[in-house]
Amino acid sequence: MDTSATATLCSLCKRRPAFFFRPYSGEKLCQKCFAESIEAKVRATVSKHHMFNFDDRIAVAVSGGKDSISLLHILAKMERRHPEASLVAVTVDEGIKGYRDEALQIAAANCQMLGVEHHVVSFEKLYGFTLDQLLERAQRKGVKELTSCAYCGVLRRRAFNVAAREVEADKIATAHTLDDEVQTVLMNIFRGDMLRLAKEKPVTDEVHPRFVRKVKPFCEVPERESTLLAFVKGVRFQDVPCPYASEAMRNDVRAMLNRMEEKHAGTKHAVFRLMERVRPGLAEAVMKEEFKECVECGEPASSVLCRTCELLRRLE
Q: Which residues here bind ligand SF4, judged by CB under 6 A?
A: 94, 148-149, 152-153, 242, 244-245
Nearest to 291 by CA among 197, 209, 201: 209
Shortest Å distance, C-beta 279 to ligand SF4: 25
Nearest to 163 by CA among 221, 217, 107, 119: 119
Shortest Å distance, C-beta 179 to ligand SF4: 15
Q: What is the CA radius of gyration of the chain?
A: 20
Q: Does 159 bind Zn ion (CB under 5 A)?
A: no
Instruction: Name the residue nearer to Zn ion (CB basis): 60 or 134.
Output: 134
d(CA 226, CA 221): 7
Nearest to 122 by CA among 100, 145, 98: 100
* CB of 70 closer than 8 Å to CB of 229: yes
Instruction: Name the residue nearer to ligand SF4 (CB basis): 56 or 94.
Output: 94
Shortest Å distance, C-beta 149 to ligand SF4: 3
Q: Does 306 bind Zn ion (CB under 5 A)?
A: yes
Q: Does 38 bind Zn ion (CB under 5 A)?
A: no
Contact partner, 245, from Zn ion, ligand SF4, none, Cβ < 5-8 Å per class: ligand SF4
Nearest to 288 by CA among 199, 166, 179: 199
Contact partner, 148, from ligand SF4, Zn ion, none, Cβ < 5-8 Å per class: ligand SF4
Shortest Å distance, C-beta 254 to ligand SF4: 13
- Number of residue whose CB is nearest Zn ion: 294
Shortest Å distance, C-beta 131 to ligand SF4: 6
* Span from 2-10, 116-124, 185-193, 292-300 in contact with Zn ion (CB under 5 A): 292-300
Nearest to 105 by CA among 237, 232, 234: 237
Instruction: Name the residue nearer to ligand SF4 (CB basis): 77 or 97.
Output: 97
Helix (H, G, I), strand (E, B) or coil at 294: coil
d(CA 46, CA 275): 18
SS3 percent helix, strand, coil of the chain, rounded to 5, is 50, 10, 35
Binding site for Zn ion (CB under 5 A): 294, 296-297, 306, 309
